[in-house]
Structure 1
Amino acid sequence: MLPLAARAEAPMRGHGGPVRALAVTADGSRALSGSFDASAILWSVEDGAALRILRFHDGAVNAVALLPDGGILTGAEDGRIALWRAGPEPERILLSHAGPVSGLAVAPDGRRIASSSWDGTARITPLDGSPALVREGHRGPVNGVAFLPDGRLVTAGYDATVRIWPEAGAPLTVPLDAPVNAVAAAPDGEIAAAGADGRLHLLRPDGTVRASLEVGPRPVVALALSPDGRRIAAATVGGAVAVVDRAEMRVRLTLVGPGLPVWSLAFRGPDELITGGGDRLVRRWDLATGEPIGPLAMARPADPLAAYAGDRGAEVFRACEACHTLTPGSGNRAGPTLHGVLGRRIAAVPDYPYSPAFRQLDIVWTAETIARLFEIGPARFTPGTKMPEQTIPAVEDRAALVRFLEAATR
């Protein structure tokens, strides 16, 4: 057990964008974070110092993992998975997906890794250079991967399924009620899965559902299991983290930060949790008290949508504000600024790293093209986009969003 007296004086700050991914070494001394700013940082947890800053990817680092031998893995929007050891550059590129990498996992034997991607596949890649094994079958993006203790792969998909893959043959498919954003495996083989409906599900290794629990009204976007498997942490886009007793399947503790989305989390031993979110910080939490370790230094920023209270279009836009700004001088986030978007040609914001396929599109952003984007989804309307797949089914909501953008981005 880690000593509760070991406390950092402040959160780990250094990223220029939301912290999308986290991993912690087995001894708890180091943490690895990946960010929308296209970098990964290796931290000394005790003093909050950045030991290494890893820059290579063309896009957000969505997934990170640590190998038993000290190697570092990063996976990103550019589809590439990089293996880092000593030195400022990756030792090698392990794999290139045809879409953004969304998750990474290391096999129990430490000799294989699994990756999930929005290209609709998961892949198992041996570290000895042997060819990757492709797992296909999900209808849409694969959002997460995990290895069971016996080496079988588990995948979570936007198609509202969890799939358990044998060494050969078809997977066992478990349908759930909403798109699944995250998956994790316990030491005894039980599977935790959660997603867009804010519910946490526990599945037995044979795919049957043991229990389900609503952990919040907002979508769950990340899961982590404590090393002993007794606790599950579930992070939501609303900014809260539910700490769940797995055996009893009940929320024992809720951690509440500045109110920004929490995109990533990892346990540091059984009694400490590390989180990363939209405020660009990596935070430590004492699970005995539910309090932050060190000051909760960054207050919630001013709400850029406060002036539009009651505007339906502003409410619809809340799903977009983590990635896009609206006003001059506010700059780019994971997506380009929307200031001046009406009448602007696609891929025209200076200094934003658009994908090559996106730059080839011939579109001008108008009320009609924006509405069409959210009617059929970014993947169909703008092939090659880095934008998360999402639609707005209601005609009136699409119209309200367009009216809001016309007013807010002038």
Structure 2
Amino acid sequence: MIQRLPSLVGLLAALLLAGPAAAQLRGHGGPVRALAVSPDGRLAISGSFDQSAILWGIDTGTALAVLRSHDGAVNAVAALPDGRFASASEDGRIALWRLGRTEPEQWLTGHAGPVAGLAVAPDGRHLGSASWDGTARIWPLDGGPSRVLTGHQGNVNAVAFLPDGRPVTAGADATVRIWPPESAPRTVATLPSALSALCVTADGEIAAAGADAVLRLLRADGGVRLAVEVGPNPVVALAPSPDGTRIAAATAGGTVAVVDRATGRILARLVGPGLPVWSLAWRPDGVELVTGGSDRLVRRWDARSGEPIGALAMPRPADALAAYHGNRGAEVFRACIACHTLSPDEGNRAGPTLAGIFGRRIASVPGYRYSEPLTRMDIVWTPETVARLFEVGPARYTPGTKMPEQTIGSAADREALVRFLETATAPR
């Protein structure tokens, strides 16, 4: 993969020399968590669990630049009207990038937890961010302090803006919140389940969805106008078509439903390889959708027919645990496979490879960027320390880690996991 930004002249030349349509854009080493398309529709930026963002020429299928400055998974991206791009990470920081530069032009800092969502305000001069620290922030892009929005009871997963500039947020507390100017009361709509996705149409209707796989369309006063079942799997991303007539809803089951906004009718289903679709964005023509998922690819689709654009091979990625069928430890580990590989030739993903983990000091895999607190710890990974990690949870055992919080309550399951790792990660 390209490791440095090309010159601006070279980048434009690559776009002008577009070849046949590429249905799949390959480059990420982990699930594609976030996508945004530039206002002119020629470029896309993607963010991944592999801690990188990639700038793409959509029609060429070329990775024009790989952006590596974050210390964690890149959960959100945005294309700014002035030609810049934004990326946000589980490291709590937002980077602003300009074409032709090898490092971020600016860092926006202040969140105390992972940033899960970004949105550009209608005036193009403000950026909204949603964070697992329980807050959202509104950042003036020309400088100055951010406005902090507090009130959610838990993770804030998504942010958007109404046409008049008012921020809208959605979170794990199952609420959609509409934020007025500083002194006015906010509007709160409580829905039946935790929310992970949010978008706003150009005429001000709010779409929200999440764990119960129902897309709900809300008026600006918080009232629900229409509810559409798009499941059975949870909805993890939403995007309105440029003309506002359709909403695309991506699911953890690997499909994308294109919903007619007026009637709630599902116009098309985009069916991928059966893995979660984490992100999606429309090109300005309203004909094409781009999606990113757990297969590490960015895919292009005709949103009217539901068919892929260009030649498309959709084999389900090889199951790295197939050789361990029936092994209880392998089944426990399946929750970890999106972020960790087992062999050195597969490299790092969102987390470091586990190849050769036993006997290795914490935070010592070459080429992986660890959070600073881990580099100061004196832990050697053994069956006992790995079991302890999952008994008490990463936040307590390795404070400052970027690893998602998770525990394994069953001692038998912890032992099975350790025995599996002893086999699967041993040098071959």
TM range, smaller chain: 0.7 to 0.9
Q: Which of these residues, 143, 148, 152, is aligned with residue 134 of structure 1?
A: 148
Contact 2:50–2:348 (Cα < 8 Å) also in 1: no
Q: Comparing 388-397 with 30-39, which one deviates more in the overlay? A: 388-397
Q: Classify 1:9/1:66 alpha carbon distance in 2 versus 1 (closer, same or farther; 3 Å).
A: closer
2:232 counterpart of 1:227? no
Alignment of 1:116-265 (within 5 A): 116-169=130-183, 171-265=186-280
Q: Distance in 1 between matches of 2:407 and 2:180?
A: 33
Residue 144 of structure 2 aligns with an amino acid whose one-letter code is S
SS in 1 for 2:373: helix
In the TM superposition, residue 86 of structure 1 has moved relative to its aligned partner by 4.0
SS in 2 for 1:319: helix
Using structure 1 for the length normalisation, give the TM-score. Answer: 0.86
Contact 2:71–2:370 (Cα < 8 Å) also in 1: no
Contact 1:185–1:225 (Cα < 8 Å) also in 2: yes
SS in 2 for 1:43: strand
Residue 176 of structure 1 aligns with an amino acid whose one-letter code is L
Q: Which of these residues, 346, 351, 374, is aligned with residue 358 of structure 1?
A: 374
Q: Comparing 151-160 with 377-386, which one deviates more in the overlay? A: 377-386
Q: Classify 1:21/1:107 alpha carbon distance in 2 versus 1 (closer, same or farther; 3 Å).
A: same
Q: Distance in 1 between matches of 2:209 and 2:121?
A: 21
In the TM superposition, residue 44 of structure 1 has moved relative to its aligned partner by 2.4
Using structure 2 for the length normalisation, give the TM-score. Answer: 0.83
Q: Classify 1:245/1:314 alpha carbon distance in 2 versus 1 (closer, same or farther; 3 Å).
A: farther
Contact 2:57–2:64 (Cα < 8 Å) also in 1: yes
Contact 2:35–2:77 (Cα < 8 Å) also in 1: yes
> Match of 2:338?
322
Contact 1:257–1:296 (Cα < 8 Å) also in 2: no
> Match of 2:26?
13
Q: Classify 1:225/1:393 alpha carbon distance in 2 versus 1 (closer, same or farther; 3 Å).
A: farther
In the TM superposition, residue 20 of structure 1 has moved relative to its aligned partner by 1.9
Q: Distance in 1 between matches of 2:309 and 2:340?
A: 30
Q: Comparing 355-364 with 391-400, which one deviates more in the overlay? A: 391-400
In the TM superposition, residue 326 of structure 1 has moved relative to its aligned partner by 2.8
Q: Classify 1:376/1:234 alpha carbon distance in 2 versus 1 (closer, same or farther; 3 Å).
A: farther
Q: Comparing 84-93 with 393-402, which one deviates more in the overlay? A: 393-402
SS in 2 for 1:307: helix
Q: Deviations over 1:129-167 (max 9, x none)?
A: 121111122233322111111211112223333222222
Residue 119 of structure 1 aligns with an amino acid whose one-letter code is D
Alignment of 1:93-132 (within 5 A): 93-132=107-146
Q: Comparing 399-408 with 225-234, which one deviates more in the overlay? A: 399-408
SS in 1 for 2:267: strand
Q: Deviations over 1:351-382 (max 9, x none)?
A: 32221123345556566765665566544554
In the TM superposition, residue 196 of structure 1 has moved relative to its aligned partner by 3.0
> Match of 1:61?
74
> Match of 1:3?
none
Q: Classify 1:367/1:127 alpha carbon distance in 2 versus 1 (closer, same or farther; 3 Å).
A: same
SS in 1 for 2:109: strand
Q: Comparing 140-149 with 385-394, which one deviates more in the overlay? A: 385-394
Contact 1:193–1:200 (Cα < 8 Å) also in 2: yes
SS in 2 for 1:247: coil
> Match of 2:291?
275
Q: Classify 1:57/1:211 alpha carbon distance in 2 versus 1 (closer, same or farther; 3 Å).
A: same
Contact 1:81–1:96 (Cα < 8 Å) also in 2: no
Q: Classify 1:312/1:154 alpha carbon distance in 2 versus 1 (closer, same or farther; 3 Å).
A: farther
Contact 2:30–2:338 (Cα < 8 Å) also in 1: no
Q: Comparing 136-145 with 102-111, which one deviates more in the overlay? A: 136-145
Percent identity (aligned): 69
In the TM superposition, residue 327 of structure 1 has moved relative to its aligned partner by 3.8
SS in 2 for 1:291: coil
> Match of 1:338?
354
> Match of 1:80?
93
In the TM superposition, residue 184 of structure 1 has moved relative to its aligned partner by 1.0
Q: Distance in 2 between matches of 1:309 and 1:238?
A: 22
SS in 2 for 1:31: strand
Q: Name stretches of at least 5 consecutive residues in structure 2 with no aligned partner.
A: 1-18
Contact 2:29–2:348 (Cα < 8 Å) also in 1: no
SS in 1 for 2:21: coil
In the TM superposition, residue 325 of structure 1 has moved relative to its aligned partner by 1.9
In the TM superposition, residue 299 of structure 1 has moved relative to its aligned partner by 2.5
Q: Classify 1:168/1:259 alpha carbon distance in 2 versus 1 (closer, same or farther; 3 Å).
A: same
Residue 152 of structure 2 aligns with an amino acid whose one-letter code is H
In the TM superposition, residue 274 of structure 1 has moved relative to its aligned partner by 0.4
Q: Classify 1:301/1:107 alpha carbon distance in 2 versus 1 (closer, same or farther; 3 Å).
A: same
Q: Distance in 1 between matches of 2:126 and 2:156?
A: 19
Q: Classify 1:7/1:275 alpha carbon distance in 2 versus 1 (closer, same or farther; 3 Å).
A: farther
Contact 2:344–2:355 (Cα < 8 Å) also in 1: yes
Q: Distance in 2 between matches of 1:400 and 1:192?
A: 43
Q: Classify 1:351/1:199 alpha carbon distance in 2 versus 1 (closer, same or farther; 3 Å).
A: same
Alignment of 1:286-301 (within 5 A): 286-297=302-313, 299-301=315-317
Contact 2:201–2:244 (Cα < 8 Å) also in 1: yes
Contact 2:31–2:292 (Cα < 8 Å) also in 1: yes
Q: Distance in 2 between matches of 1:117 and 1:378?
A: 19
In the TM superposition, residue 339 of structure 1 has moved relative to its aligned partner by 3.8
Q: Deviations over 1:310-348 (max 9, x none)?
A: 555544443322112234543221112234556655434
Q: Distance in 2 between matches of 1:225 and 1:393?
A: 41
Q: Classify 1:214/1:113 alpha carbon distance in 2 versus 1 (closer, same or farther; 3 Å).
A: same
Residue 242 of structure 1 aligns with an amino acid whose one-letter code is A
Q: Distance in 1 between matches of 2:63 and 2:151?
A: 40
Q: Distance in 2 between matches of 1:319 and 1:288?
A: 35
Contact 1:220–1:237 (Cα < 8 Å) also in 2: yes
